[in-house]
Structure 1
Amino acid sequence: MTGSTDQTALRDRTLHALWREGYCGFGDVTVISDGAEILKRLPRAMPRPTIHIIDWFHIAMKIQPMQQIADHLIRSRSGLLEALPSIDRDIRAVKWHLWHGRVARTIRDLERLLATLKQAQGDDKFSIARLRNLGLQLLTYVRSNRGAIVNYGKRYRAELRVATTLAESAVNSLVAKRMVKKQQMRWSLHGPHMLMQVRTAEVNGELRDRLRTQFRRPEPNVPSLFKPKPPLLRAA
C-alpha cells in the first residue's frame, strides 16, 4: 500500500478489493499478515467481524533455520552431547505450541532454550551463537504479535486458511527466476522496486494522478563560485 495510510483509505482500498472478489458486506473477514504495523491497523478500520492473524508461513520460516542448525550440531557432535537433546526438544516444542496457539508456553520454552544456549560450550561456537540469535529474534517476534497468534491446528482442521503459502511461493519463484539465476533478462535490484511502486499505485487508483504530477527538475550541481548573485538574476 502506498500513499495515505489512514484508516479510511485502508478500509476503502480493502473493501474495493473484497467487492471485486464477491464480498457482499457481511461475513467474517480474516487479515493474514507477517506482522506489519499497517496491516495490524487494518482490522480496526474494517466492518465487524474482522480478525487479524499472523501468517503461519512466516512463523515456520523463522523456526526452520533453528531446526537445521540443531540438526547440524547433532550430526557434527560438537561437544554439546549433554545439551543437544534438550535444545532439539525445546525447538520442536516451540513449534508445536505455536501451532496450537499456546503463546505463553512458547515464550517460556524459548526463554529456557536461550538460557541453555547461553551456558552451552562447544567446538562450533558460530552455530551456537547463530542459533541463539535466531531464538532471540523469534522471541521478539512472538512477543510483538502474541495477540494475533491463534490455534492454527484448529483452523486447519476446520478447513480455514492459516497461511499465504501459495502467494509467497509464487513471489519467491518469480524473484528467484528474475534476480537470482544468471540469464539475459535478469532484473536489477532497482528495477523490481520501481515496478512494484507502479503496480501498487495502479491497484490503489493513484497512477493517473501521479503521472499528472509535475516533478521539479533537480538543480544542476554548479559550484557556488560560479552561481550568479541575486542582483545579476534580477538584471537578467
Structure 2
Amino acid sequence: MNVKLQIVIESEPGGLPIIQEVAQFERAGLQPATLGLALSEAKSILQSVQQALVEQQVSGYLAQQAVCQDCGEQRVCKDRRGIVYRSLFGKLNLQGSRLLHCACQAHSTKSFSPLSELLPERSSPELLYLESKFASLMSYGLSVQLLAELLPIGASLNAASVRQNLHQVALQLEAELGEEQSVFIEGCPDEWAKLPRPELPLTVGIDGGYVHSSEQTSRQDGWFEVIVGKSIPASGNSKVFGFVQTVEQKPKRRLFEVMQSQGMQMNQQVTFLSDGGESVRELQLYLNPNAEHLLDWFHITMRLTVMQQMSKGLESAQGELKAGAVAALEHIKWNLWHGKVSRALQWIEDLAVDLDTAETDEKQRKLSKQVQEFEVYIHRNRAFIVNYGERYRYGEVISSAFVESTVNQVVSKRMVKKQQMRWSKKEAHLLLQIRSKVLNAELQPAFRRWYAGFAVEEVEPVLAA
C-alpha cells in the first residue's frame, strides 16, 4: 500500500487552491509495529505540513507589507534577508525582505524588516511555554531529550537555550508584579463592614529550604536559603510561592498577590504560620487587618525534643542536674502548649543558670548552648505564641507541617534531591517563579495574556524531580 499526503491551501474563498505533497510512505502486511503512523513518520508529516503552511503565510504577509497602508503606494525593496524562527515542529528559515518606508509619513528609520518586527523573539510561544513548563519540572537536559524525542524540533535545541528561554519567561512574569509596599491594608473598618460576607479563614504557611550554591568558597557557605510558602483557602485550590530572599525585591507584594488571587478580602480572617525565623517574621505583617500570626508548634516541639534527648544523655554522675533538666523541659513544653510564655521563659532562664553554673562537660556545654538559643528564639517570637492546646481542642490549625511537604514539592524535587547541579541565587529565584506558576496552573493564563490566539491544552503537571 502506497500512501501520499497532500495539503490543500485556499488563500481566498473561491480562489485557486494550492496543492502540495507533504509526505509519502508505504505499508506492506499488517503488523503491530506498522499499524497506523510511526513516530518518525508523524514528526516528518508535521514538519512538512508546517513548512508548506508557513511559506504561504509569510508570502501573503510580505505581499501586504509591500504596499503602504497609508497611501497605497508600492514600497521599494532594499534587500532580501532571512531570519531563523524556532517552533515546536522544527527550525524555520524564513525568507523576508527589507523595505524602504514610504515618504508619505515620517519614520525614525529609513527601512524596516516586516518579519523581524512581527517575530522579535525568534521562538514560537508554544515552544517557549513547553520549554519553561518541562524545565521547571525536570532538569534542562531531560527537558531537551523529551521534546526532541516527541517533536520534530531538530538538533538546534540544547540545555543552554532552554535555560535562557526559561529565564526570559520568568523575567517577563517578574515585570508584571506590582510595586512593593510596607503596608497592604486598604480602607477602614467602616468600608470593611460593607464588603460581602467573606469565605472561611485562609491559612498561609511559610518556611525555608536550602539549595546548593554555585558560589561556594567553603563548606559552610555551600548552601543558600529560599523562602517557600503555601496558601490554603477553605474551599478551592491551594497555591504555592517561593523566592530567594537576597534576590527578591518584592516579597510582600508576591505573597499579597497570591492571597488576592484566591479571593482574599480585607474583612476575611487569615492565619499565618511560620518557623519564627528572621527571614519570614516581617514578611507576613500588614497584609490583612484580620490576620493572626502564629509561631508553628511543630518547630517549637522539634527544638524541645532535641533538648530533651540531650538532657537524657547527660552523665549518670550528674543525676540531680539530669533529672532537673528533664523536668524543667517538661514544664517548659507544658507552659508553651498552653500559651503561658512568661512562665515558660522563667523555666528556661532557671535551666540556663543551672547548666551554666554546674560543673561542665562537653554534653552539658552543648545542652546549655541549645537552651540559651531557645531562650532567644522564644523571646523574639513571644508575640506569635498562643494557647495551642485550646486551638487544638477546637480543631484549629497549630502547625505548618503541610509546608514541609511544600518545600519538598517546590524546591527539593527539582533543585536538591538527586541533583548534582549547583545554582546561583538569581537562577534559582527565576526557576522558582516558573515552577510555582506551573504548580499553580498559572503559566498558561500568563501566555494567553501575552500572545493573542495562544492555545495549548492544559495538562495537570507531573511533579518530576
User: TM-score of the superposition, structure 2-length normalised?
Assistant: 0.37
Quote the offset at 1:169 in angstroms: 4.5
When residues 166 and 126 of structure 1 are mapped into structure 2, their CA distance, relative to the original with a 3 A threshold, is same
Equivalent residue for 1:111, pick from 334, 349, 352: 349
When residues 186 and 200 of structure 1 are mapped into structure 2, their CA distance, relative to the original with a 3 A threshold, is closer
- CA distance in 2 between partners of 1:177 and 1:66 (Å): 33
Assess if the C-alpha contact under 8 Å between 1:43 and 1:51 holds in 2. no
- 2:302 matched residue in structure 1: 61
- CA distance in 2 between partners of 1:72 and 1:192 (Å): 41
Per-residue CA distance 1:162-198 (angstroms, 9 max, x = gap): 1111221453697499757xxxx4334x339566412
- 1:164 matched residue in structure 2: 400
Q: Which moved more, 1:157-166 or 1:41-50?
A: 41-50
> In structure 1, what residue type is equivalent to 2:380?
S
Quote the offset at 1:150 in angstroms: 1.0
Query: SS of 2:293's equivalent?
Result: strand
When residues 24 and 172 of structure 1 are mapped into structure 2, their CA distance, relative to the original with a 3 A threshold, is same
When residues 61 and 121 of structure 1 are mapped into structure 2, their CA distance, relative to the original with a 3 A threshold, is same
Equivalent residue for 1:101, pick from 317, 333, 339: 339
Assess if the C-alpha contact under 8 Å between 2:335 and 2:341 holds in 1. yes
Quote the offset at 1:19 in angstroms: 3.4
Query: SS of 1:87's equivalent?
Result: helix
- 2:385 matched residue in structure 1: 149
Assess if the C-alpha contact under 8 Å between 1:101 and 1:152 holds in 2. yes
- 1:134 matched residue in structure 2: 370
Assess if the C-alpha contact under 8 Å between 2:271 and 2:294 holds in 1. yes
- 2:46 matched residue in structure 1: none
> In structure 1, what residue type is equivalent to 2:394?
A
Equivalent residue for 1:14, pick from 233, 251, 255: 255
Question: Radius of gyration: which is bigger?
Answer: 2
Equivalent residue for 2:430, pick from 198, 203, 212: 198
- 1:186 matched residue in structure 2: 419
Quote the offset at 1:18 in angstroms: 1.8
- CA distance in 1 between partners of 2:412 and 2:366 (Å): 26
Assess if the C-alpha contact under 8 Å between 2:388 and 2:398 holds in 1. yes
- CA distance in 1 between partners of 2:280 and 2:414 (Å): 28
- 1:34 matched residue in structure 2: 275
Higher relative contact order, structure no. (Cα contacts within 8 Å, ≥ 6 residues apart): 1
- 1:231 matched residue in structure 2: none
Identity of aligned residues (%): 25
Quote the offset at 1:100 in angstroms: 1.1
Quote the offset at 1:48 in angstroms: 1.4
- Higher-strand-fraction structure: 2
User: TM-score of the superposition, structure 1-length normalised?
Assistant: 0.69
Per-residue CA distance 1:127-175 (angstroms, 9 max, x = gap): 1001000000000011111111111111111211111112214536974
Assess if the C-alpha contact under 8 Å between 2:332 and 2:348 holds in 1. yes
Q: Is 1:85 equivalent to 2:323 in the alignment?
A: yes
Quote the offset at 1:63 in angstroms: 1.2
Quote the offset at 1:68 in angstroms: 0.9
In structure 2, the gaps of 5 or more residues are 1-173, 185-249, 447-465
> In structure 1, what residue type is equivalent to 2:308?
Q
Quote the offset at 1:22 in angstroms: 4.4
Query: SS of 1:31's equivalent?
Result: strand
- CA distance in 2 between partners of 1:100 and 1:121 (Å): 33
Query: SS of 1:163's equivalent?
Result: coil
Assess if the C-alpha contact under 8 Å between 1:70 and 1:88 holds in 2. yes
